[in-house]
Amino acid sequence: MLFQDLIFWALAAVAVVGALGVVLLRDVFRSALLLVLVFLTVAGLFFMLAAEFLGIVQVLIYAGAISILIIFAIMLTQNVQEGNLPNRLQFAAVLLPALLLTALAFVFIDTDWRLIADLPAIDGTAVEDVAFRDNTFTLSKLLLENYALAFAAAGVLLLASIIGALSLVRER
């Protein structure tokens, strides 16, 4: 348990510092690289949360594909080194997230969560040990049976966004 706590705090510290770097650094390219770091730490957190399929998807899609897209967009535009300027809304832009964070933290701590650990055991084993055993198998079953329509709609959405992006950047 102590080892897990250690890993969590290390990942959390890297994620928070990396996220601050993304929004505060002057150099847009370094921001993009720090964004990849944040995505990788969040993937690590997914593995800690018994979501190994989502962790792999996070590495493939976020740290792989989306960051490459962002780096391409940065390379195609100017002012990479001096590109990250603040606007005139600094005070409100600090106040609003701070208020939101306070409210969310209060709600998270104050709520009386109904935890999985408190559920009665199934056939003598705790629910936690049963539920997250075959993560990928159960996830695929859910996607292709219970949520088959949404799965197909996601494919249509991706196709539409590809066509939309192509028609946006096409030379006229």
Partner 1 sequence: MDLEKFLILSAIIFAIGLYGVLARRNVIIVLMSLELMFTAVILAAVTMSRYVASREAVAQAGVAAESVMQTLLTGQVFALFIIVVAAAEIALGLGIVIAFYRSRETVDISQANLMER
Per CB under 8 A, which of residues 58..97 are in contact with partner 1?
A: 58, 61-62, 65-66, 69-70, 72-74, 76-79, 83-87, 89-90, 92-94, 96-97
Alpha-carbon gap, residue 38 to 58, rounded angstroms: 11
Binding-site member from 6, 10, 152, 154 for partner 1 (CB under 8 A): 154
Q: Could you tell me which of 13, 8, 19 has the C-alpha nearest to residue 44?
A: 8
Find the shortest distance in angstroms from Cβ 92 to partner 1: 7
Contact between 61 and 22 under an 8 Å Cβ cutoff? The reply is: no
**Tokens at 70, concatenated:** 């962002």
Total chain residues near partner 1 (CB under 8 A): 93
Binding-site member from 10, 122, 148, 152 for partner 1 (CB under 8 A): 122
Centre a 10 Å sphere on the Cβ of residue 44 and count the other Cβ atoms it contains. Answer: 19
7 binds partner 1 (CB under 8 A): no
Alpha-carbon gap, residue 143 to 152, rounded angstroms: 10
27-46 positions binding partner 1, by CB under 8 A: 28, 31-32, 35, 38-39, 42, 45-46
Contact between 26 and 13 under an 8 Å Cβ cutoff? The reply is: no
Amino acid residing at 55: G
Binding-site member from 2, 3, 112, 123 for partner 1 (CB under 8 A): 123
157 binds partner 1 (CB under 8 A): yes
